[in-house]
Amino acid sequence: MLSLALVAGTSAAQSGLPVRGPDYFRDAADLAGVLGSAHAIRVRCNGRDDQYWRRYMTDMLAFEAPDPGELRSSLVREFNDAFSEVSRVYLVCDTDAVAAEARYAERGQEISTRLATHYFPKRERTGKGFD
């Protein structure tokens, strides 16, 4: 994981973004797992055509790990492992499953907000645009 931080940190520094260290990678992996978990329940309840949470994962990969490599592979692995695990836990779509999806959605929002505010803080408006 540390090697990922060093590689991503270099490209982040070159792009003017904050360096992404171990906390970032932990949060990104957690978010991928949460998305996989929520996707498992959504598919269980609505069928394979419901790709609501997978689309979020696709967007995350497009922004966070657009190129093949260790970061992308680890995020995909987290998503798939969580999907498999939750699929084994929730064998039917019932009120427990629906409540769990809501909890995963809330947890995903918390992680996303933390990532966005820490790594992409809002800039002050000056009246002419953003600095």
pLDDT in tens, 32-90: 999 999 999 999 999 999 999 999 999 999 988 999 999 999 999 999 999 999 999 99
CA–CA distances in Å: residue 125 to residues 70, 114, 121, 122, 130: 37, 22, 12, 9, 5
**Of 45, 68, 47, 52, which Cα lies nearest the Cα of 108?**
52
Spatial separation of the C-alpha atoms in residues 87 and 19, rounded to whole Å: 35
Residue 20 falls inside a structural domain: no
Count of the separate structural domains present in the chain: 1
Confidence of residue 117 (pLDDT cuts 50, 70, 90): confident
Residue 90 falls inside a structural domain: yes
Spatial separation of the C-alpha atoms in residues 37 and 43, rounded to whole Å: 10
Give the range of the structural domain holding residue 99, as residue numbers without chain letter: 27-119
* Residue 1 vs residue 29, higher pLDDT: 29
